[in-house]
Structure 1
Amino acid sequence: MDFYAVGIELLKGIGFFFLHPLFYLLLLFTLFLGYKRVQRERNDFHTRVYDIVDDLLVPLFPSLLAGLLLSSFIIGFGIVIPIGVMVLSAIVHVVIMLTGQARLLSPAYTGGLTLLIALVLPEVTTGLAMVDRWISEIHTVHLGGLALLISLLMITEAFLILKNGSKQTSPQLLKSKRGKTIGVHEAKRIWILPIFFLLPAGPILTTEYWPLLNIEFSQLGVLAIPFAIGFQQVIRSTLPIHAIINNGKKVLLVGVIVLALSVLSLYISMLIPIVAIAAIIGRETVATLLKLREDKEVNMYTQRENGLVILGVIPRSPAEKMKVNVGEVVTKVNGIRVTSPQQFYEALQHNSAFCKLEIIDSQGEIRFAQTALYDGEHYQIGLLFVQLEQLPQENVI
């Protein structure tokens, strides 16, 4: 094996990733979502909770790791995706981004739509040599490989949700149908994965046992292509981590089912459209069931008679240093019982140099948290509660 030639091919593939327009469109879309989040947080709490750049940094390492692991499976399985299919996938990504919905960037939707369009796309000529070649490539590749890719991306999505989806969820104020102000947490994330693909460029030998390589090309190159995995979930009845892990497990189950169908589709071509439909319907069913469950449960982040439910903790604040957690209930501040944000800050002023909180934790047990306070501490001590201000009508749920 010529390791030098392999290294050159890998460098070319990585270079193509940074030249791909979709990569920069995904970056801009992620920053746009971060900007809208910060605007909302300032409107609700008069302060941002997380920086805009955190929307890029938090998913960065998990995205790179997931992309490399998925690439090893794709190359190991011999999945060959021609440029025409990649271009079609990029177009689907862009159209979905125009909706502004992060959740629709799930590979169940982007991959499922790409596969369905590839199946029904007529073999037409446009007069443009490059476009005609892309369309021709879509009709020469075994689309079972694309079906298998969708299932692997969905399983990757599930693991990203489980391991990274609950990081830095954003607190938010909404108005319930009964007109009551409630708090929720929103998880919204875009993972941009660099995925390496074998690129056909001439005849490779046909294999009877693995139909993915049953195409007429003579050599393979390597390209790194940006793929997005979008995730969005609103939680109001429990701690974010519990709801998000539940979501991830359900997505994993759907991904495994789609994987089984995609493996069968490698040998039974009529199952290929079933893979796309199962992916889309399965992912949408998970989202719908989780939303219906949230609607039925009691709101966790509301004002209570026995204290204040912590809706958010600002990073690098005294509250974070005290290891105060979302969902815990503050009952006393400096020995004074509190039941409203106004009472909380009034009690805080009784000792401007020190803060002692009596808290009921997630296990229902009382614990104490305390810290010294200094002039210029960020946003008081950094706790966010459900406020009583009138909310705009668009926040009605």
Structure 2
Amino acid sequence: MELLKGIGLFFLHPLFYILLLFSFLIGYKRVQRERRNFNTRVYDVVDNLIVPLFPGLLAGLIVSIFVIGLGIVIPIGVFVLYAFVYVAILLAGQARWLSPAYTGGLTLLIALVLPEWVTGVTIIDRWIIEINHVQLGGLALFISLMLIIEGMLILKNGNKQTSPKLLHSKRGKIVGAHEAERMWILPIFFLLPAGPIFSTDFWPILNLDVSQFWVMAVPFAIGFQQVIRSTLPVHAIINNGKRVLLVGIVVLGFSILSLYLPIFIPIVAIVAILGRETVAFLLKLREEKDTNIYTQRENGLVILGVIPHSPASKMAVKVGEVVTKVNGVRVSSSQQFYEALQLKSAFCKLEIIDGNGEIRFAQTALYDGEHHQVGLLFVREETHFEEQVI
């Protein structure tokens, strides 16, 4: 019953609903962009909540086991500071800033320099005292664990349902890209030291040999955002996840040292922030350097997106493949693709060059009311749409 009470109170935390709203807004903005680019949505708004749901719950459980198993104790004052950092970063409107490197690193740096002043408000003064007297080595260790979990989430879940988009290149041409933007919400259980500051009847109490603790479930979020133009989304995102995982392992090493040598505590925050920013910079630099594969060609149409549950999805057509013929007719534009489909309104046969450069055929029956391009999305020939320049 105490465990159920703790889980139930998790849903009363205001940050949980702020994060849910932000995740919904990410999905809403994505759908609006997809409609501007392709006159149709690719995925529902709620997919931004559903796709990361189970991975986030599982990741929260794993982190909770390590936090409680390692005996990491963090007072409520630090959680309040963490929440304020989250809200400030959310105002930027970009999921990538919700990486533990930024949220955790900034919280750790603020906790290090926060002066011990008196505001006259009892509860705030208690939080400030807690922040100034907490052992920050435990927080540093928690940040490193979260960074490692971020890398794992990107590796396993980051490439699910990436969204196709259109961009204007610096030369004014329309090119395609894929964007992965996601936020995982993690419910994490913490041990909090019992005492008059935390006197309440709302949280269960663990009676341990050394002291008395409460268990509190706290919502945390891990954000992720990446735009891919030069390769398939899955390859680029896996590469990103491996690099973030490496940063997390390096930060873990410094956080272990900080448990014995407090001088390493600020180093943990700095290495986390700079390491995560370096990963993002190197990936962006590579995308700008390499050739965009989602462009208009003279021979064939590069598949930029596949709408779920469409005829193309049933034919197992994949992003990055090239359609060279439709019903025996060579195509090099979406208009030609549409016209070739009309030759056989009840049937579609595609000649495709797959990722290995080999030719294969895909065919299916067509029915009324289905997408006019059998669910395939290509780079548009039109030049009038509002989008960012790369």
Report the TM range for the smaller structure's normalisation: over 0.9
Matched, 1:90 2:83: yes
Distance 2:298 2:372 in 1: 25
Residue number in structure 2 paired with 1:29: 22
2:370 counterpart of 1:377: yes
Quote the offset at 1:393 in angstroms.
5.5
Question: How far does the alpha carbon of each residue in 1:88-131 deviate from its partner, in whole angstroms, 9 at most, with x for none?
Answer: 00110001000001100000000000000000011111111111
Kindly indicate whether the alpha-carbon contact (under 8 Å) linking 1:202 and 1:218 is maintained by their aligned counterparts in 2. Answer: no
Partners of 1:53 and 1:252 in 2: how far apart?
28
Matches within 5 A, 1:178-197: 178-197=171-190
For residues 307 and 295 of structure 1, what CA distance do their matches in structure 2 show? 24
Is the CA contact 1:105–1:230 (under 8 Å) kept in the aligned structure 2?
yes
Q: Show the 5 A alignment for 1:119-134.
A: 119-134=112-127
Contact 2:169 2:175 in 1 (8 A): yes
Residue 223 of structure 1, aligned match among 216, 221, 225 = 216
Corresponding residue for residue 332 of structure 1: 325
1:264 aligns with 2:257: yes
Query: Which residue identity lines up with residue 97 of structure 1 in the other structure?
Result: L
Aligned equivalents of 2:229 and 2:179: distance in 1?
Answer: 9
Partner amino acid for 2:184?
W
What residue identity is the alignment partner of 1:220? F
Distance 2:55 2:360 in 1: 34
Number of the residue aligned with 2:303: 310
Match of 1:366 among 359, 364, 377: 359
Moved more, 11-20 or 145-154: 11-20
Q: Could you give the per-residue CA deviations for residues 116-171 of structure 1, whole angstroms, max 9, x where no partner exists?
A: 00000111111111111111111221000000000000000000000000000000
Q: Which runs of 5+ in 1 are unaligned?
A: 1-6, 204-216
Q: Which residue of 2 aligns with 1:63?
A: 56
- CA deviations 1:191-229 (Å, max 9, x no partner) are 0000000011149xxxxxxxxxxxxx9410111100000
Normalised to the residue count of structure 2, the TM-score between the two structures is 0.95
Return structure 1 stretches of 4+ with deviation > 6 angstroms.
Answer: none
C-alpha deviations, 1:46-65, integer Å up to 9, x for none? 00000000000000000000
* 1:356 Cα offset (Å): 0.3
Aligned to 1:341: 334
Report the RMSD for the aligned CA atoms in angstroms: 1.2
1:278 paired with 2:299, answer no
Query: Does the 8 A contact of 1:174 with 1:391 survive in 2?
Result: no
- In structure 2, which of residues 132, 140, 150 is the aligned counterpart of residue 147 of structure 1? 140
- Aligned counterparts of 2:159 and 2:26: Cα–Cα separation in 1: 17
Counterparts of 1:241 and 1:291 in 2: how far apart (Å)? 16
Matches within 5 A, 1:154-173: 154-173=147-166
Unaligned runs of 5+ in 2: 197-209
Letter in 1 for 2:103: T
Matched to 1:255, the amino acid is G
Aligned residue identity for 2:252: L
Say how many residue pairs are matched. Answer: 377
Please report the TM-score for the alignment, with normalisation by the length of structure 1. Answer: 0.93
Q: Secondary structure at the match of 2:332?
A: coil
How far off its partner does 1:394 sit? Answer: 4.4
Residues 37 and 385 in structure 2, CA contact (< 8 A), matched pair in contact too: no
The percent identity for this pair of structures is 75
| Letter of the 1:287 counterpart | A
How much has 1:13 moved relative to structure 2?
2.1
Q: State the one-letter code of the partner of 2:62.
A: L
